[in-house]
Amino acid sequence: MKVLVLGAGQLARMMALASKPLNIDVRAYDVGSAQVVDPLSVSVTFGDLVTGIEFADAITAEFEHISHDVLACCEASGKLFPSSQAIKTGGDRRLEKNLLAQASVNNATHKVVANKAEFDDALATLTLPLILKSALAGYDGKGQWRLKDLAQAETIWQDVDTFIKEDTSDQQQAVVVEQMVPFDREVSLVGVRDKNGETHAYPLTENHHTNGVLSVSLATNEHQALQQQAAEAFDKIAAGLKYVGVLAIEFFQVGDSLLVNEIAPRVHNSGHWTQQGADTCQFENHMRAVCQLPLGSTNLVRPTAMINVLGTDTVPDSILAVPSVTMHWYGKSKRPGRKMGHINVSGFDRSELLARLKAVAVLLSEEDFPEVLDYVNQLT
């Protein structure tokens, strides 16, 4: 089998690494250079998008912010999984909110705002504090504003208005204004669905964000009550999109309830722990779904955590001496805040995992891994 991945970043790379043992040949379309490349060696090029579409038995994506023209070309070949509709939904909070409403899945109360009148209406209708999120192309904390007091409204609107007008994408930019959810925890569910509608969900993952970016994920199989709630939301959303492949759902946990924060129609950073912690990792399961192979079990093999490596290309070698530590570098050049790699840590049970996680965290610098040690130290 031959697969073309739209996007040539770390997710395409890890899909390619998981695919080699399955004899699935993966190439990646770099939307920046408009070239098809080897995701394991991005300086090796294979031609343009048309060549890539011809090469492939199946086409998939590593991110959702892809031009609709590119998606249309791929969909016309009949090889695109998930569908362009699913990918677009993940890339546009308006479509996402419509989907959640249609699937009757709990999420934060919101209004779509594209002009001052809609903004004023949102302020009049919703209860403060609010969070404003760009409808298109905003993730990892970019294109977001928090409005806690009406005194901030005018300043924030100026910012948002400029942001909307500056957008040059082929869709119309807007912001989704949500009531801020007073959540206890952020958790996510990664799952996979095949062409016949069979689904498997990985154990719920607890996520810690630092400055709006995921810093630590923890999967320990200890949330059976929530697991079922999340898996039901997954099934509804995935069925609504006739989804094929791995799909991630981020939730806010409020008491014993889950509210969907956002969905990602792809393998997800909060599922990287599955490489060491699950029967079949998310990258392999995505490829199995896209290539119409039987899905693999998503069961937890052992409690596993992931620490993101952001903006640095070095970590102390000494972390490798902690049992079960696996380093995953993405082979990228360093830039501030850039996702450079991740560290997976496992343990026989939660207690062993936390001991090892703490042993790793104390070796990491506060400068390169802000809040990680504090977060890990308060886990019990």
| Chain contacts with a second copy (rule: CB under 8 A) | 13, 17, 20-23, 38, 40-41, 44, 279-280, 284, 288, 293-297, 299, 301-302, 317-318, 320-321, 323-329, 331, 341, 346
Which one, 171 or 326, has the nearer CB to a second copy?
A: 326
Q: How far is the CB of 220 from a second copy (least distance, A)?
A: 16
Q: How far is the CB of 280 from a second copy (least distance, A)?
A: 7
**Where would I find the beta strands (DSSP E) of 185-275?**
185-193, 199-201, 205-210, 213-219, 245-254, 257-264
Which one, 62 or 262, has the nearer CB to a second copy?
A: 62
Which one, 40 or 254, has the nearer CB to a second copy?
A: 40
Q: How far is the CB of 303 from a second copy (least distance, A)?
A: 12
Can you say whether the dihedral through the CA atoms of 93, 98, 103, 109 is positive or negative?
positive
Rounded to 5°, angle at Cα 355 from 353 and 357: 65
Cα separation, 124 vs 109, in Å, equals 13
Q: How far is the CB of 99 from a second copy (least distance, A)?
A: 30
203 exposed, middle or buried (CB, 10 Å; 0-12, 13-18, 19+)? buried
Q: How far is the CB of 46 from a second copy (least distance, A)?
A: 12
Cα separation, 365 vs 367, in Å, equals 5
Which one, 210 or 324, has the nearer CB to a second copy?
A: 324
Which one, 172 or 297, has the nearer CB to a second copy?
A: 297
Alpha helices in the chain (DSSP H): 10-19, 49-55, 68-76, 84-91, 93-102, 116-125, 153-166, 224-240, 274-277, 282-290, 350-361, 372-378
Which one, 183 or 329, has the nearer CB to a second copy?
A: 329
Which one, 55 or 183, has the nearer CB to a second copy?
A: 55
Q: Which helix (H) or strand (E) holds 112?
A: strand 110-113
Q: How far is the CB of 47 from a second copy (least distance, A)?
A: 16
Q: How far is the CB of 299 from a second copy (least distance, A)?
A: 7
Scored b (16 or more CB within 10 A) or e, 251-261 reads: bbbeeeebbbb
